[in-house]
Amino acid sequence: MFVHCPNDWLEFIECHIEKNDILELQNTIESQYGNAVCFPPKDQIFQAFKYCATQQIKVVILGQDPYHGPQQANGLAFSVPFGVKHPPSLKNIFIELSQDQDIGYPFSGSLEPWASQGVLLLNTALSVEMSKPASHLKYWKPFTKKLLSAISKEKEFVVFVLWGGFAQKFEGCIDTDKHVIIKGGHPSPLSANKGHWFGNRHFSKINELLKQKKEVPINWEVDRSIET
């Protein structure tokens, strides 16, 4: 499984997580994939790391676990492959984005353009069993806590975005003397329809914080990378 993890991230992980813990996680997830249909495809589990190198991280957006329906999860939190129908949470993200940034609602549901600019789209669990949300969270939670703590320790400044109560449980992994945490409701309809999502203007807030640190802001447009 870790053979698909980019070398820079593999080195980073091995520096901060015990080898036995890595092997135990790998064996557990391999077993889950061997006994049931799981997502994303095994070679895409570490896709978020592929598009956002360790030296490139500016923003971490923390999700819960991958979409649990066929052909949806692509290894980046909240993202789906190009051409796939947008799940409800992604729809709400794009509605808020279009209002905050005054850009059109995107056609593509792939968030690779964000990741390639230094936005780590990290789920707290990097895999899930089909039709069983949260089924792998218990396996990934220790790994994710150590990974977030390592990012917090090694990086000078990162904007951590925690959407929803579950993501906010990982707040303690982040050193707020160095980094900034943006918290808000989850983009799911259950949360958004209660008034906990729309109007948060998080995309603008992220860029304002990056500019304050003399960092290049994120271009939040998605469709600009579509090849015709």
- Beta-carbon contacts of 132 under 8 Å, excluding residues fewer than 6 positions away, are 68
- Which one of 8, 21, 65, 100 is the catalytic residue? 65
Asked about 21 being catalytic, the answer comes back as no
Helices (H), the chain: 7-16, 19-35, 47-51, 88-101, 112-115, 137-154, 165-168, 189-192, 202-212
- Number of continuous H segments (helices) and E segments (strands) in the chain: 9, 6
| Phi, psi at 65, each rounded to 5° | -145, 170
- How far the first Cα of the chain sits from its last, in Å, is 34
Q: At what angle do helices 88-101 and 202-212 cross, to 10 degrees?
A: 60
Q: Both tokens of residue 85?
A: 């129908």
CB 186, CB 81: distance < 8 Å: no
Max Cα–Cα distance, the chain, nearest Å: 49
- Please state, in angstroms and rounded to a whole number, the distance separating the CA atoms of residues 204 and 202: 5
Q: Which residues are catalytic?
A: 65
